């Protein structure tokens, strides 16, 4: 199965084409220039397909990180995937951004502490047990304070804990003595990991794909008394 994956859940945007059966990345690219994802994402996808010498008709399915993450960023990538998949009548898979981050650590034997800066003193977080080529979820995706997260991590003593995600530096500064941080090259969200994390049993028609927001948008939170 050839999958085209997109991720624009944070500052950077990325696109990948992966042969899921062979476990091979055919083409991958990212942009991290703080330009609106609506300007960069589709041109990036077009260039990645050209590099792989493929057209959209050669893609069997689509995968996209559908949350948590930037409200605007998620809407852009989810809408892009819905549009391409709907036009071609191809299935799609929405992948947890945090689960995809755990796939950055494939090949290691560690607890992946996936963290994204959620502002307001919290991080989006989930914990995963990574052992070689297997990833096992330990917690649901949630918004949690660093203090609360620290209480959980203090109970995990059997394996190395590795921070991964765009909130990794923030968390590592807080827990520097007890945890490590993924190298820069494997630290951030990327579309190749989204493809590898996509579960074939969870592919759905394009119309069913939706972003997953853990918290309400800031404007809606501030409007409440």
Domain assignments of the chain as residue spans, ordered by start: 2-98+189-223, 104-187
% residues pLDDT > 70 (the chain): 96
Peptide bond between residue 68 and the one before it cis (omega within 30 degrees of 0): yes
Residue 150 CB partners (closer than 8 Å, separation 6+): 174, 175
Model confidence pLDDT, tens digit, residues 37-83 = 999 999 999 999 999 999 999 999 999 999 999 999 999 999 999 99
Phi, psi values for residue 201, rounded to 5° = -75, -10
Whether residue 7 contacts residue 13, with contact meaning beta carbons closer than 8 Å, is answered with yes
By DSSP bridging, strand 2-7 and strand 61-67 are parallel
Q: Which of 51, 49, 41 is nearest to 83 (CA)?
A: 41
Phi, psi values for residue 222, rounded to 5° = -75, -20
Model confidence pLDDT, tens digit, residues 151-191 = 999 999 899 999 999 999 999 998 877 799 999 999 999 99
Whether residue 18 contacts residue 2, with contact meaning beta carbons closer than 8 Å, is answered with yes
pLDDT at 78: 98
More confident residue, 115 or 33: 115
What are the b/e assignments for 150-163, b being 16+ CB within 10 Å? eeebeebeeeebbb
By DSSP bridging, strand 134-137 and strand 142-145 are unpaired
Q: What is the mean pLDDT of the chain?
A: 93
Q: Which of 58, 6, 63 is nearest to 200 (CA)?
A: 63
pLDDT at 221: 47
Pick the CATH number of 104-187 from 1.10.10.60, 3.30.420.40, 3.20.20.60, 3.40.1010.20: 3.30.420.40
pLDDT at 218: 53
Report, as an integer, the average pLDDT of 112-117.
Answer: 97
Question: What is the torsional sign of CA 4, 7, 8, 13?
Answer: negative
pLDDT at 177: 73
- pLDDT higher than threshold 90 for residue 120: no
pLDDT at 44: 97
Report, as an integer, the average pLDDT of 5-22.
Answer: 96
pLDDT at 225: 54
Whether residue 40 contacts residue 191, with contact meaning beta carbons closer than 8 Å, is answered with no
CATH level 3 topology of 2-98+189-223: Nucleotidyltransferase; domain 5 (3.30.420)
């Amino acid at each position: 199965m050839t999958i085209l994956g997109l991720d624009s859940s944070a500052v950077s945007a990325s696109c990948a084409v992966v042969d899921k059966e062979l476990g091979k990345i055919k083409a991958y690219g990212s942009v991290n220039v703080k330009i609106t994802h609506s300007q960069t994402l589709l041109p990036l996808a077009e260039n990645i397909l050209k590099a792989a010498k493929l057209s959209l008709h050669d893609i069997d399915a689509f995968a996209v990180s559908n949350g948590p993450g930037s409200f605007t960023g998620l809407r852009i990538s989810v809408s892009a995937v819905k549009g391409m998949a709907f036009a071609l009548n191809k299935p799609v898979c929405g992948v947890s951004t945090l689960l995809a981050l755990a796939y950055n650590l494939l090949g290691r034997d560690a607890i992946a502490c996936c963290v994204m800066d959620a502002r307001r003193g919290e991080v989006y977080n989930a914990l995963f047990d990574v052992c070689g080529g297997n990833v096992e979820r330990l917690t649901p995706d949630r918004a949690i304070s660093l203090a609360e997260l620290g209480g959980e991590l203090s109970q995990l003593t059997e394996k190395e804990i590795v921070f991964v995600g765009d909130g990794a530096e923030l968390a590592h500064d807080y827990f520097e003595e007890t945890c490590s941080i993924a190298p820069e090259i494997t630290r951030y969200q990327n579309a190749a990991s989204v493809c590898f994390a996509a579960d074939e049993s969870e592919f759905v028609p394009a119309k069913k794909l939706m972003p997953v927001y853990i918290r309400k948008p800031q404007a809606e939170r501030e409007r409440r008394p």
